[in-house]
Structure 1
Amino acid sequence: MSDQPTTPQALTDDAVVLDVREQDEWDAGHAPGAVHIPLAEVPNRLDELPDAEPLPVICRSGGRSGRAVQWLSAQGYPVVNVEGGMQAWAQGGKPVVSDSGKEPEVI
């Protein structure tokens, strides 16, 4: 388990990450290797967590993912917060894909 955050640049473009943003944020744009479980649903969907150790957790800017990391870590899961979230991911030139058919964006 790691309390140390990671950066988008430290992850591969196709890294498996847990995205805890809301559905509209996910639809607008997300990392290609992301698994979407909104923050409020994480406790009830633990069986859907990707197998990655440590598992990077991401949101828009790092706040919600930080709360998810704190809770998951307390449950014994090896997780790490992605510093700066999807905003830093996109600003760092990392790929962003969209489920909406529109140009992907981070909202």
Structure 2
Amino acid sequence: MLQTPLWTQKLSVSPFKIKLFKNYTIACPVPYALYEYIFLVTREFFLFVVLKHCVVGLRLFRWQNHTRVGELAAFMNTGIAGKKEISYEDLKALLAKSQNLLLVDVRSQDEVDKGRIPGSTHIPVATVKDAFSLEPEEFKAKYGVTKPPLETSELVFHCQMGRRGAAATAEASSLGYVNACNYSGGYQEWSKKEKK
């Protein structure tokens, strides 16, 4: 009588879920149990690595300064960080009554050349942080307007449709301009409502 070698086994399912037929004998250089063990260890190691990276990522997010939460809130327009947006009507009222309003256009030079809100100052979104970090004299020399104090409630950013304005507002908030606002309608809404 022929005896089946020890290194062969009858399998119904392999570790990679390849279905084999009933009573099908396959020759394995290593016992099936070892294949299963290797598969489980590999899976556990993979899960450990993924979880470790998730935990490290959360710690890094918490470790960074708290202004990131304000930036995220402003970007997602949730209102967590206070009133960060103003409407077309609010902006019109501010422009009519305020002498100290600083309306900052954060669009590109090409966009500004096609049209702008009267009285706005052009500071591209990529340079907002550097601009508002300048000393008041440098700011006035570079942009021709007075740099607003940190506590001002008359600092409004705008772009074409609102997203870059929100990012600029978040940058200003991180520098201490906690009352800075974003005109969320942007120049697109302004030009439609002003029929330009």
Q: TM-score, structure 1 length as denominator? A: 0.75
Correspondence 1:21-32 to 2 at 5 A: 21-32=107-118
- Which structure's relative contact order is higher, taking Cα pairs within 8 Å and 6+ residues apart? 1
1:7-53: per-residue Cα shift (whole Å, max 9, x none)?
12212388341000000001110011100000011122114375362
Residue of structure 1 equivalent to 2:188: 87
For residues 1-107 of structure 1, the aligned pairs below 5 Å read: 2-12=82-92, 15=95, 16-46=102-132, 47=134, 48=139, 50-51=147-148, 53-77=153-177, 78-93=179-194
Structure 2 residue matching 1:45: 3-state secondary structure = helix
State how far apart, in whole Å, the 2-side matches of 1:36 and 1:13 are: 21
1:74 positional shift: 1.7
Question: How far 1:91 moved relative to its partner?
Answer: 1.4
My pick for the range that moved more, 15-24 or 46-55, is 46-55
User: What secondary structure sits across from 1:31 in the alignment?
Assistant: coil
Count of residue pairs the alignment pairs up: 95
Gaps of 5+ in 2: 1-80, 96-101, 140-145
Give the aligned CA root-mean-square deviation in angstroms: 2.4
Any unmatched runs of 5+ in structure 1? Answer: 97-107
User: Per the alignment, do residues 4 and 41 of structure 1 end up closer, same or farther by CA in structure 2, a change over 3 Å counting?
Assistant: closer
Give distance in 2, aligned partners of 1:69 and 1:40: 12
Consecutive aligned runs of 4 or more in structure 1 exceeding 2 Å deviation: 1-4, 12-16, 47-54
Identical aligned pairs, as a percentage? 32
SS of residue matched to 1:12:
helix
8 A Cα contact 2:128 2:171, kept in partner: no
